[in-house]
Amino acid sequence: MKEVLVVILCYLIGSIPFSYISAQVLAKTDVRSRGSGNVGATNVYRTAGVWPGLLAFIGDLLKGAVAAWLGLAMGGPVLVIICSLAAIIGHCYPLFLKFRGGKAAATAGGVVLFLMPKVGLILLLLFITTVVLTRYVSLASLIVAISLPFVAYLFHYPWQYMVLSILMMIIVVYRHRENISRLREGSEARIGDRGWR
């Protein structure tokens, strides 16, 4: 029974809309009707500024990290998978915003940084490098997500973490499907483009 309650708690933690809250409190902006309309840290940065975006990013990271910690503390590797996915699903489909949420990259990143810190730091460097070179945040998120299982494999983490890595990759790629279409069309917004801010 306690495991079920922990999973529900992790979903509710994932549902906390830090992006929406930070934009509303610091910039009086509803990110759902600005920029891409996505309730995520990138759109907060794009429409509300650096500090709201940074706070949203940190909040989303913490959701994943806390969920992974709860799973590990309460039940071990298998519960880690379930709790982490519950938080990620909560982020994507939050109870508090009528199930309209973000794209899971930052929350999944929090899971990775907590469970597999070496992998997390490598992927963070890959993310930053890709953004600097291409100015596409979505492309950087996709490259990092696809790279996750392969980098995790190199460090010989438990099989449960490998399963979680693959599932997180699938979720992040799926949630970025519209970005993938725009990247193919050449219409995806880049940092610094007109209309980005």
Tell me the mean pLDDT in the region 61-90: 96
pLDDT at 197 over 60: no
Percentage of the chain lying above the pLDDT 90 cut: 77
pLDDT at 86 over 60: yes
pLDDT at 196 over 60: no
Q: Considering the domain boundaries, does residue 193 fall inside one?
A: no
Q: Considering the domain boundaries, does residue 13 fall inside one?
A: yes
Q: Considering the domain boundaries, does residue 181 fall inside one?
A: yes
Which residues constitute the domain of residue 151? Answer: 2-185
Q: What is the pLDDT of residues 122-139, one digit of tens each?
A: 999 999 999 999 999 999
Q: Phi, psi (5° rounding) for residue 147?
A: -75, -25
Tell me the mean pLDDT in the region 27-47: 86
Q: Which of these ranges, 7-16, 44-53, 83-92, 160-169, has the smallest mean pLDDT?
A: 44-53
Helical segments of the chain, H only: 2-15, 18-27, 41-48, 50-74, 77-92, 105-115, 117-134, 137-154, 159-175, 177-185
Task: Measure Cα distances from 2 to 28, 74, 111, 125, 134 in Å.
Answer: 39, 8, 21, 37, 46
Q: Considering the domain boundaries, does residue 190 fall inside one?
A: no
Q: Considering the domain boundaries, does residue 196 fall inside one?
A: no
> What's the pLDDT score for residue 125?
98
Average predicted confidence (pLDDT) for the chain: 93
Q: Considering the domain boundaries, does residue 85 fall inside one?
A: yes
Residue 29: which pLDDT band, with cuts at 50, 70 and 90? Answer: confident
Q: Considering the domain boundaries, does residue 70 fall inside one?
A: yes
Q: Considering the domain boundaries, does residue 194 fall inside one?
A: no
* Length of the chain as a residue count: 197
Residue 30: which pLDDT band, with cuts at 50, 70 and 90? Answer: confident
pLDDT at 62 over 80: yes
Give just the sign of the alpha carbon dihedral 156, 157, 162, 163. positive
> What's the pLDDT score for residue 194?
64
Could you report how far apart the first and last alpha carbons of the chain are, in Å?
Answer: 47
> What's the pLDDT score for residue 195?
55
- Domain count across the chain: 1
> What's the pLDDT score for residue 122?
98
